[in-house]
Amino acid sequence: MDNVNRLRVGHFAPDFTLKDSDGREVRLSEFRGQKSVLLFFCPGARNAPCLSLWEELNLFYDEMEGEGIEILALSLDERWTSHRLRQERKFRFPILKIENDLRFDPPVLSVSQQYGLPAGPSRQKVYPAVFLVDKMGIIRFRKVYLEPTEGLNLKSMECELEQVS
């Protein structure tokens, strides 16, 4: 649990490059100077708590369209699973694949570790988390969901978004 508080509001967001569900590379730093980015980490969209959070996130995406905000979902799901889910649920935000490096013990979740997220119960998963990164690349909001029953705090994020957009 030590690494939960490593990366805080006011810190620069670590850069990363991941592939989306269509196989395109997305780099966080590409948005710097142009858009604020809402990062949502999820172990897998097929479990009920995460799917519920993703549906809330999709509604939030619709509300924030045109506000200079990009949403990037990061998941351990395989790209084909994320691709199918985006089509079935009509999610409009990109879903990026977190690469899980099993050569190490414990397995390395590089982007998850950069963001100081604790490994979930199986050590190959991460807890859901939300980070709001402003146009300068600074983290302005951060929430790690250690309990799957917690809902996204959209009102808090909307206040932060108003300040950064």
Tokens of 137: 């690349």
Supply the DSSP string of the chain, one letter for each residue.
-GGGGSS-TTSBPPP-EEEBTTS-EEEGGGGTTT-EEEEEEES-TTSHHHHHHHHHHHHHHHHHTTSSEEEEEEESS-HHHHHHHHHHHT--S-EEEPPEETTSSSPEEHHHHHTTPPB-TTSS-B--EEEEE-TTSBEEEEEE-SSTTPPP-HHHHHHHHHHH-
What's the pLDDT at 127? Answer: 74
Tell me which of 96 and 51 has the higher pLDDT.
96
User: Model confidence over 41-93: pLDDT tens digits?
Assistant: 887 766 677 777 778 888 888 887 778 889 898 887 788 888 888 888 898 88
Reply yes or no on whether the pLDDT at 3 is more than 60: no
What's the pLDDT at 86? Answer: 87
pTM: 0.81
* CATH number of 2-164, picked from 3.10.580.10, 3.40.30.10, 3.40.50.620, 3.90.1170.50: 3.40.30.10
Q: What is the dihedral of CA 94, 98, 99, 104, to 10 degrees?
A: 180
What's the pLDDT at 8? Answer: 87
